[in-house]
Structures are given as C-alpha cells and as structure tokens.
Structure 1
Amino acid sequence: MAIKDLLIQIDAFTAPEAQLAYALGIAEAHGAHTIGVAHAPSGVASLRNDAQFALSAFARAGEQRGLTVETRLTECAPGDFAGLLALQARHTDMTVIGQPATDGSQGRAQTAVYEELLFHSGRPVLVVPWAGRPKPVPQTAIVAWDASSTAARALADALPILRQAAKTIILVATDGQSTTLGADPGTDIAQHLARHDVDVELRCIPLDPETQTADLLLSQVADLGADLMVMGGYHHSRMREYILGGVTRTIMKTMTVPVLMSH
C-alpha cells in the first residue's frame, strides 16, 4: 500500500499551526493528494465564512509545498457531520484529525467524529496531539503489538510511514501466560516487517498487573523517544459502538505523539 490521498479535517487544526504543518508534511512525504474538509452548521453564515477562510488558508499552505489540494465545505447539522466525514474517508487512504478536546460540547463532537472514523470509515485514522511539533517522517515509531486483528490492520495501514521511519520498535507486553503471541512473542511480526524493508527492532516488556496498559505504552513512548505510535483501536460496548475501550480512550486523552489507529 502507498499513501496516494489524504483526508484532513480542517476544523480540528484551527488552533495550533503545528498540527496543520504535520498533516501537510505527511502528504508531502508521500506525494499524496490532499483533501481538506471543514464543517459549517447549515444556515449559519458566520460559521460558513470561518470555515471557508480556514479552507482557503489550508489550500495556500498545501500549494506552497507543491501539493495538489482539494477543499470541501460540508454544510449539515452538527450531528450529521461525523457520518458524512466517514463516508468521504472511505474514498481515501487515510484521515488526519486533531486530538479531540477532553470536555465540553466541542470535545464531545470531536470525539464523535473520531469514533465514527475509526469504527465505520474502514480506513486508518492518524490523530495529531495538541502539544508539541511532531515530525511527519518519524525517527522512532512504536507499534503496540498484541497479535489482535485490529493491531494487524493498523500495522498494515502504517507500512508506508514505517518504511520511512529511521527505526520501528515492535513493543510486546507479555505476562508469561498468554498463548496468542506464540512461544517467541513478536518475532514473526518483526520478521514480517523486515521483509517489507522496515528497520525493525523487537522489545518485549513484562506486563505489570499494577500498571494500566495505556500508561505502559505512554511511558515507553517517553523512554524510547518515539515520535509515532501505531495501535489497534477498540470499543467495549454491546449497546453502543461509540464507547471506546479503556486503552483507546486513555491514549486519546493523554497522547503525546501522533497515533495511527485502525479497527
């Protein structure tokens, strides 16, 4: 797989310019066509003007990098935007969005967009944190590997980025009892990545029952100086799909580097 087109939600990038620069940097690194999408509630002229202004700024920034740029304004009720964005995402290789806010109506709306993209677009979602200035071409990428179908999907979706990374670390947390990872946890998937010309390293760490998985992953990101994390995304609800699993939810709230997730 190669990244040939990217969908970028412009609404989430109206604050830190570093987020927009990162999204455009990803497109530039892969020579990808970029599609910027902004939302304006139906019938609200001032917000429509704001969205158009943001799209125009996005187009100029992309063209300055030599990218082919397309802009789309989606006018609809706020509750309809997530589904419409996911529909558009199905026609591209990847969607880039900003880290959802943690509270308030804006945070709930952003989280709804993220969840719809993750669970129903059928495409990977690359989430950019509010803090820092992430690198579009990572020096060190971490892959959280648990041999699940979602982890496998995320790994496959991330391959174009991992090939460019200086180093990719397969991170396997083991408890000494799980049989799903095999007798030699992580070795098979590390060899698989090596066959795809990824500079890969395997790191197995003991799973501490007193430490939450999300905290373990984030501490490894800090210890290893990683600038990208790849992981499968989960929801844990039979009644509502739009309830994230605990690890996914915590990562979204406390992420310090871009996170590529697939489901």
Structure 2
Amino acid sequence: MSYKTIIVHLDTSPNAHPRLEIALRLAKQFGAHLTGVFAVFSPDPRSLYVMAGTAEYYQTHEELRMERRAALERLFHAELRRAEVSGEWLAFDEPASLAVPRTGRCADLIVAGQDNPADPESYVGDFFPENLILSCGRPVLLVPYASNERSTGGRVLVAWDGSREATRAVHDALPFMRTAKSTTILTVNGLQESERARIPGADIATVLARHGVRVELADVETGPGGEVGEVLLSQVADSGADLLVMGAYGHARWRELVMGGATRTILHSMTVPVLMSH
C-alpha cells in the first residue's frame, strides 16, 4: 500500500500555504496525484439583511475572498509544476464539512488543518476536523496551525492501545513508517490490567517489522490522575517525533459530538502533524 491519491483542503486562511507545502512534499515523496479542494464557510447572505450594513460587509468580504481564491489557485498550479507533481484544483460552493469528506472518500490520504480560534478565515464549520475524521473513512493528516519547520514522517510515534481505531491508524500510516528513520510504538499504562484484553505493543511491532519497518517499543505510566493526551504531547516533545499516529475516538449523538479525552486534547494542542483514523 502507498498513498497514490492525496487530497489537501485549502481555504483563505494564512495556514493554507504551509498546508499545501506539506501536501506537495508528500505527493512528491509517494508519487501521488494531488487534488486541492477549496471550500470555505459562507453564511447565507439572506440572513444578513436583518442588520443594517451587514449586506454591504458581506459583499465586500466575498470580493476579497474571491481575490484570495484566485491567487491561491494560481499558486497551487505553479507549485504543482515546480514540484513536478500531477494534480487538479476543485472549488466548491457548498460547506467544507460536506465537500471535503465526500471528495476524500476517493483518496488514500486527506491533509487538513487544525482549528485556529485566533483566525476567522480558518473557520469552515463547527468541529470540522472532528467531523472529517469521523465521517470520511480515510486517514486524515492534521497540520497544526503553529509553525512547524521539521519534516513530516521522519520520526514516527504511534499511540497504541490495541483498539480498533488504533489498529486502523497503524495500518493507514504504513507508507510513512516504511520510509521513516525510526518508528516507536508507545503504550500508556500498558502493564496495568484493563477490562478488555489488550493487544501488546510487541505484537503489533512484529507485524510492522514484517513490512520492513524499524520499530522500537516504549511504555509510560500516566500516574494518578494523569491524562493520556498530555502524556502523548510530552512524549512527542521528548522523542523529537515529527508525526504522531493515533486512533480517533468519538461518535455523534443527537445534536452533540462526543470525542474521547486523548483525541480532544491532541486536536486542541497538537505540536506536530497528526495522522488520525477512525
């Protein structure tokens, strides 16, 4: 397995360009076709007429967005030519929460961005990364909005707990791990008993080794009241990992999105790109 079709979500935020650079680098590395999917949040303009001046603001803002969209499209095609990568540009007027998952189901990997509360242009819908991971059926590489100049996938840290989600993430990340300098399988509280039978990290490491992956094992304890998500962030920093691989835990209830604690922590505080699968 390799990544032969990669989709990158693009918008009018400043983080779209570095996200595109990562996607281009991966497309070059894996010999993949890269599709740029442009989709943003656009409120219904009819709802703005109830407040004086909002309609004019909306029109001016839309004109600015169209200029940024055109500039980004030109940049996308120029970067494809520079990197000698095949690709295409797709622009959607429908919400990104619909367009990106639907398009992404025909991809091997989706590259998207972490929510940035300080940048209104990065907002494309409520809980966009969470809904994308839970609904697309494909691995999602989330790029943090904080700057990250390191490579992606040279040193891989895998959060392993033996669950279905973690199993899916490990196998989805195989193309990264085959070319990585190092891959560490990290279990948290792995020596403690749990209600379900755990699959030891050594077992999945043996499977990966048969794929030619160089694997190391590590186990850490959270301590009393410790949170798994904080442990993962600490291990990323201590190990110098430039890619975290983990299963995403969550489901939708009636009018509510419920995410697991570690998943929620990483989505909020990630410092390196994170490959998540559900």
Q: Does TM-score exceed 0.5, indicating one fold?
A: yes
Alignment of 1:120-159 (within 5 A): 120-130=135-145, 131-136=147-152, 138-159=153-174
CA distance in 2 between counterparts of 1:241 and 1:158 reads 29
Secondary structure of the residue that 1:82 maps to in structure 2? helix
RMSD: 2.2
Partner residue, 1:177:
193
Displacement, 1:61? 1.1
Note the alpha carbon deviations across 1:24-44, whole angstroms, 9 max, x for none: 111111011000011254884
Map of 2:21 onto structure 1: 21
Q: Which secondary structure state, in structure 2, belongs to the residue aligned with residue 247 of structure 1?
A: helix
CA contact 1:19–1:128 (8 Å) conserved in 2: yes
After superposition, the Cα gap between the structure-2 partners of 1:104 and 1:24, relative to the gap in structure 1 and judged at 3 Å, is closer
Tell me whether 1:257 sits opposite 2:245 in the alignment: no
**Corresponding position of 2:73:** 55
Aligned to 2:8: 8
Confirm or deny that 1:202 pairs with 2:217.
Answer: yes
1:67-96 deviation per Cα after TM superposition (whole angstroms, max 9, x unaligned): 0020011113xxx32112100000111110
Moved over 6 A (4+): none
Per-residue CA shift, 1:168-222, capped at 9, x if unaligned?
A: 000011252125225xx21100001001111111111223232211110010111
Change (3 A) 1:45 1:102: closer
Taking a change above 3 Å as real, the CA distance of residues 35 and 65 of structure 1, as seen in their structure-2 partners, is: same
| Alignment-derived partner of residue 231 in structure 1 | 246
- Change in CA separation of 1:17 and 1:104 when aligned onto 2, cut-off 3 Å: closer
Q: Which letter maps to 1:23?
A: A
Q: 1:101 to 1:192 in 2, by over 3 A?
A: same
- Structure 2 distance, partners of 1:75, 1:107, is 16
One-letter amino acid of the counterpart of residue 68, structure 1: S
Q: 1:134 to 1:22 in 2, by over 3 A?
A: farther
The answer to whether the 8 Å contact 1:141/1:168 transfers is yes
CA contact (8 A) 1:117 1:123 kept: no
Larger of the two Rg values belongs to structure: 2
- The alpha carbon displacement at 1:12 in A equals 6.8
In structure 2, the CA distance between the partners of 1:242 and 1:108, relative to structure 1 (3 Å rule), is farther
Structure 2 vs 1, CA of residues 81 and 17 (structure 1 numbering), >3 Å: closer, same or farther? closer
CA distance in 2, matches of 1:107, 1:72: 18
TM-score, normalisation: structure 1:
0.89
**TM-aligned CA deviation for residue 167 of structure 1:** 0.5
Compute the TM-score of the two structures, normalised by the length of structure 2.
0.85
Residue 246 of structure 1, CA deviation: 2.0
Separation in 2 of the partners of 1:122 and 1:23?
19
Deviates more, 1:192-201 or 1:238-247: 238-247
Matched residue SS, 1:229: strand
Match for 1:31: what amino acid? G
Q: How many residues align?
A: 257
Change (3 A) 1:102 1:47: closer
Aligned ranges 1:49-128 → 2 under 5 Å: 49-76=67-94, 80-102=95-117, 109=124, 112-128=127-143
Tell me the distance in 2 between the aligned counterparts of 1:177 and 1:247. 19
Of all paired residues, the percent bearing the same amino acid is 37
Q: What SS is found at the alignment partner of 2:124? A: helix
Shift of 1:155: 0.7
